[in-house]
Amino acid sequence: MNAPTAKIDSLPLFLAHALVVEEEAVENYEELAHVLKAHHNDAVATLFEQMADFGRKHADEVRRLAEQKTLPKRAPWEYHWPDGMSPEAGGAADAHYLMNTAHALQLAMDNERRARDFYASVAEHSPDTEVRRLAAAFAAEEAEHLQLLQDWLARCPDDPEDWPDDPDEAHMPE
């Protein structure tokens, strides 16, 4: 049980982690939507707005579950993340203003996959029965989001390998 998630041994600690995961998902997807709207990529921005809505609903669910509980206050480096960062915090660095819908779907799928794997790991390793039960339910919800994204990708007319020429390509001085 040396997995970082094995240290999530109480319901309040799990809920504190889950709240960060979901709030960072919302923040990440909203930021991506904002950047893509600024570059007039409205179709992809709309996708990220929908993903932010999923995150908001999950965060609200976690807050309801946390009512009447005192969640531990932790510094960002004190959370037990498998790779040192919240599972749904990634992605913004991989976004590009020319990305098409297929690219956006793949980016969102990576986030949802990391969240699913995090919750599944907690469900497998936590010594607390209620944490394991709730983490398994959260992993299933993330798996549903991942499946939804995979279904969208299967119907997507965009080619994930197709990147248009960048009219504002970065130039490095020699």
Q: What is the mean pLDDT of residues 21-28?
A: 90
Q: What is the pLDDT of residue 151?
A: 86
Distance between start and end Cα atoms, the chain: 50
Distances from the Cα of 121 to the Cαs of 6, 43, 79, 80, 126, in angstroms? 8, 34, 15, 11, 8
Closest CA to 2 of 107, 163, 172, 125: 125
- Per-residue pLDDT tens digits for 93-145: 666 666 777 777 888 888 899 999 999 999 999 999 999 999 999 999 999 98
Q: Which domains, from first to last, does the chain contain?
A: 4-155 (1.20.1260.10)
